[in-house]
Structure 1
Amino acid sequence: MSRITSIRTIRIGERPNLIWVEVTTDEGLTGLGEAFRGAAAVEAVIHESVAPMLIGRDSRDIEPISRALLTPYVGFGGSSAEVRAASAIDIALWDLKGQRHGIPVHEALGGKSRDKVRSYNTCAGYDYNTKSAQRRDIGATDEARGPYDDQVAFMRDAGQLAESLLSEGFNAMKIWPFDIYAPATQGVSITLADLKKGLEPFAKIRRAVGERMEIMAELHSLWSYPAALSICRALEEFNITWAEDPIAKMDDVASLAELRRAVRVPICASETLGGKVAFRDLLVAGATDIVMLDLAWCGGLTEARKIAALAEAWARPVAPHDCTGPITLIASVHLAMHAPTAMFQEVVRATLATWYRDLVTVLPRVEQGWVLPMEGPGLGAMLLPAVAQREDAILRSSGR
């Protein structure tokens, strides 16, 4: 047996959106998971609802545990606190499985489909997403805090940023210059003047590096259908790789499918969705070209592999999300190595170079724009002991 004896959560004041969960068994093994956004709510779900169900249960029963945690009486819709808690627990259970057998998670999932996966750089800054809301108000006059303050860079000179990324081997990048224009109308519409200004970074990239750089446009679920239609049609001339999360509610499959039929840019959806059923509905409706999922929001690795299988059945590529925390990235790399239709693994060079390193023992290697497999049993990384010893750490345990 491999009975769960305790569950511990860790949060730190400096990164209030992040929470880590450690699941310990009577074998003396500890698996690590992670969730993001609403960390205090996730903590409450884990200790008040999840722990009483799991303490004493066999940690090898990943599938039935996943089903139980993802079908509570309430809280099962989308990426709720319940789903985020289930995601963190599930990642930890897969870490335990790999450790128990002495194999990486991607091998435990069924083996690698590739020896490396292509990456793109999401052009965020050092503290992007750290607080409760994303910063969308950065403009060309903001001061860069370091060489990888890429959100400032794409608003200031996206062409120069593209050249910097190419010099490091990245030939794909994601930017969101339209976000700052959404608050004026709550995303209901966009003026022609703002549309033109939002297109300028794409034009600068093409002038600077031509077709050597693939560009993804992140629209952050900010826009009505007419506004998204205007933006996507305007982006067609720049031959972008995808327009991501273009409308305000990404579970509105009817509007998203209508948009996809009306534009020539590929649609990518959606990191914001939880559970395989939401992704099935997207695929059945013909609402997306690329399936993006976040392992800390969709239900963990167990649910993610099912979503990837659905994407494969509909001949759609998969692109795991990373703009949250290091364990989610590491788990995503394992999935991207395994899933047959994985297209990209998102990375943020600003976080890889800085605070991700302060939290975990090992990070994925990115070489010339390619992410290499994690090595070692389980996830292949642990939370640094110093994280739980910080003055701003908040620890909570259930079990013995």
Structure 2
Amino acid sequence: MKITDIKIFLVDCYRTNWVFVRMDTDEGIQGVGEGTLEYKEYALEGAVRHLRQYLIGKNPLEIEKHWHDIYRDAYWRGGPVLMSALSAVEMAMWDILGKVLRVPVYQLLGGKIRDQVKIYVNGWFAGAKEPEEFAEKAKDMVKWGVRAMKWDPFGKAYMNISNSELDRALRCVDAVRQAVGKGVDLLIEGHGRFDVPTSIRIAKELEQFKPMFFEEPVPPDNLDALSEVRRKSPVAIAAGERLYGRRSFKELLEKGAADYIQPDVSHAGGIWECRKIAAMSEAYYIPFAPHNPSGPIANAATLQLAACTPNFEILEIMVSDVMWRQDVTNEHLAFQDGCIRIPEKPGLGIELREEACMEHPYIPHDLRHYSGQLTNIRPPQTVRYFLEK
């Protein structure tokens, strides 16, 4: 079997653009992958084109060899662009291998240890501004069956936060906690906003609300700073969505910088690299809670990891999405009692619909984190795409 082509699709999804790849073979079996890289989609597209030059004519079943050779020969190793491109094509190769052997990818990684995985929802707060609005939206999630939810209550703060801004953020967290009760997990997002003393101050204030974790309190490029926050924080710290490859996570683990690790399968190096990262963290008794707010193919790949990874703790997922998410793939997710069932189809269990992708071409979008527009994460019309019970 040989790879004959790799096609790239940039698909607008309001918050950013999904970046999908389809890998073709001379035996007619196709694989799909995703490397969605928020706000750097053209750079990612170019990187995939570079990898295409290497991969055409190669056997897609030799996944470890190709990953090794691409990483070795990149010269400029690591970073979000190369690693996201490598993630996308690696996913597609696993998809092909699963289809050849007619088994889900998880079966190739040691077999399933769970039938379903607990989720926490992101994006549930879309459009909310005041604490009372967050509370009402949180109640709706609980009625629907959600048992964990994440959001960033810190407005447009950066590095430090005023007393009035912090008070507003804490009132928001309090309102949500009062609305959902003690039985629902709250996860507080930091988006790498704060300096060390501000992060510690916030963590101490959050303790009263018993969050599951405080995510990415400091920027991702100094693990010593993160380690200092974790050392003084009374609440668990999560991080890793902007780290790439096992070597970065080795440093994070050795420094004791996080209580939960959050590699993203579409950025960190793909399925097998994330499985290796999870195994490393398992040796430290650190739970694996991957970053996963992207598109349907990245979600499908993360579900394969959820099936077979012993220390997989919880899955992030967007609670709703653009109306055309249901059109661009055949994604079908079964949700019940706060969990999503693991799919059983061969490969990643998902197929790309090329014509639908092309109906929603690339549109540039800007980062909203420091503009006060953070909750404008979804368009006026959205769809909950996992409604099966």
Q: Per-residue displacement from partner, 1:25-68 (whole Å, max 9, x unpaired)?
A: 12211100111122221111122x21121111111110111122
Find out whether 1:9 has 2:11 as its counterpart.
no
| Separation (CA, whole Å) in 2 of partners of 1:381 and 1:367 | 20
CA apart distance, 1:264: 0.9
- Counterpart of 1:45 in structure 2 is 47
Q: Unpaired segments of 5 or more residues in structure 1?
A: 125-147, 395-400
**1:113 alignment partner, SS class:** coil
Contact 1:189 1:223 survives alignment (8 Å): yes
- Counterpart of 2:197 in structure 1 is 226
The TM-score, its normalising length taken from structure 2, stands at 0.88
1:102/1:216 CA distance change after superposition, 3 Å: same
Q: Per-residue displacement from partner, 1:302-328 (whole Å, max 9, x unpaired)?
A: 211101111111111111222121110
Contact 2:9 2:358 survives alignment (8 Å): no
**1:23 alignment partner, SS class:** strand
Q: Per-residue displacement from partner, 1:347-374 (whole Å, max 9, x unpaired)?
A: 11112x8442122112322222101011
1:238 alignment partner, one of 209, 221, 226: 209
1:190 alignment partner, one of 150, 161, 167: 161
- Counterpart of 1:169 in structure 2 is 145
Find out whether 1:363 has 2:339 as its counterpart.
no
- Counterpart of 2:373 in structure 1 is none
Contact 1:330 1:363 survives alignment (8 Å): no
Q: Per-residue displacement from partner, 1:131-186 (whole Å, max 9, x unpaired)?
A: xxxxxxxxxxxxxxxxx6535277542322222111111111101011x241xxxx
AA matched with 2:2: R
- Counterpart of 1:132 in structure 2 is none
- Counterpart of 1:387 in structure 2 is 356
The sequence identity of aligned pairs, in percent, is 31
1:14/1:173 CA distance change after superposition, 3 Å: closer
| Separation (CA, whole Å) in 1 of partners of 2:355 and 2:362 | 10
| Separation (CA, whole Å) in 1 of partners of 2:216 and 2:310 | 23
Matches for 1:236-275 after TM superposition, within 5 Å: 236-248=207-219, 250-275=220-245
| Separation (CA, whole Å) in 1 of partners of 2:360 and 2:138 | 39
1:68/1:278 CA distance change after superposition, 3 Å: same
1:192/1:388 CA distance change after superposition, 3 Å: closer
- Counterpart of 1:373 in structure 2 is 342
1:355/1:320 CA distance change after superposition, 3 Å: farther
| Separation (CA, whole Å) in 1 of partners of 2:168 and 2:300 | 36
Matches for 1:1-400 after TM superposition, within 5 Å: 2-13=1-12, 17-37=17-37, 38-47=40-49, 49-79=50-80, 81-122=81-122, 124=123, 150=126, 152=128, 155-178=131-154, 180-182=155-157, 187-248=158-219, 250-351=220-321, 354-390=323-359, 392=361
Contact 2:131 2:175 survives alignment (8 Å): no
CA apart distance, 1:391: 7.1
CA apart distance, 1:226: 1.4
Q: Unpaired segments of 5 or more residues in structure 2?
A: 364-389
Contact 2:128 2:134 survives alignment (8 Å): no
AA matched with 1:237: Q
| Separation (CA, whole Å) in 1 of partners of 2:360 and 2:193 | 37
**2:82 alignment partner, SS class:** helix
- Counterpart of 2:384 in structure 1 is none
AA matched with 2:8: T
| Separation (CA, whole Å) in 1 of partners of 2:91 and 2:302 | 10
Q: Per-residue displacement from partner, 1:62-95 (whole Å, max 9, x unpaired)?
A: 011112223344442332x111110000010010
1:212/1:68 CA distance change after superposition, 3 Å: same
CA apart distance, 1:205: 2.0
CA apart distance, 1:388: 4.5
CA apart distance, 1:111: 0.8
| Separation (CA, whole Å) in 2 of partners of 1:13 and 1:320 | 23
**2:89 alignment partner, SS class:** helix
Runs of 4+ in 1 over 4 A off after TM superposition: 13-16, 153-156
CA apart distance, 1:208: 2.3
